[in-house]
Amino acid sequence: MKNHGGKRQGAGRPKGTGAYGKATKVMRVPEDKAEDVKAFLTSGAQYSIPLYEGTVSAGTPFGVTDHVDRKLDLNEHLIKTPSATFFVRAAGKSMLNAGIDEGDLLVVDRSLDVKNGKIIIAVVNGDLTVKRYQRFGDKVTLIAENDDFEDIVLSDGEELDTWGVVTNIIKGV
């Protein structure tokens, strides 16, 4: 009788010869996230960027150093709760005085509590907006950070659905 199946010495693909060039591990991932995980793995993205020692002058130039102090992982600085964080691009000029310009990429954390003075992403009566949140008693005001724009004062019966708190702004040059 021949022995079929089971584990055989030397069978299978040698370790480190697959698509990733190293040993792999089987993981369970929600089906709706599988393509995102594949894209992440195949992107070849660099996870850390050199952080040079010292500072750079915004005034009179001074001596230069080319010593890399350490590697900087932007996720570590920009994203505290990855599972609750998303990005959204700003449109319009109502938040200029808060440093939010047209086209800026906003880092938004859904896990943070909405508190007075925080800049939030919210839906007001079906419209998406970014404003500074202010609550006095039962009165909620979404403050525009540009005098050319009106604040949004919520009346009784108006719905406010908060999407999260803006934690960082990523700007282009």
Residue of 15, 94, 111, 118 marked catalytic: 94
Task: Give the pLDDT band (50/70/90) at residue 172.
Answer: confident
What span, in angstroms and rounded, lies between the C-alpha atoms of 50 and 163?
33
94 is catalytic: yes
Q: pTM for this one? A: 0.66
pLDDT higher than 60, residue 139: yes
- CATH fold label, 31-170: Umud Fragment, subunit A (2.10.109)
Average pLDDT over residues 78-88: 89
Q: Which of 72, 84, 56, 67 is nearest to 163 (CA)?
A: 84
Q: Which of 25, 83, 131, 155 is catalytic?
A: 131
Give the list of residues 6+ apart from residue 51 with CB closer than 8 angstroms, or none. Answer: 68, 69, 70, 71, 72
- In the residue annotation, 131 being an active-site residue is answered as yes
The structure tokens listed for 33 are 């996230």
- Indicate the pLDDT class of residue 41, thresholds 50, 70 and 90: confident
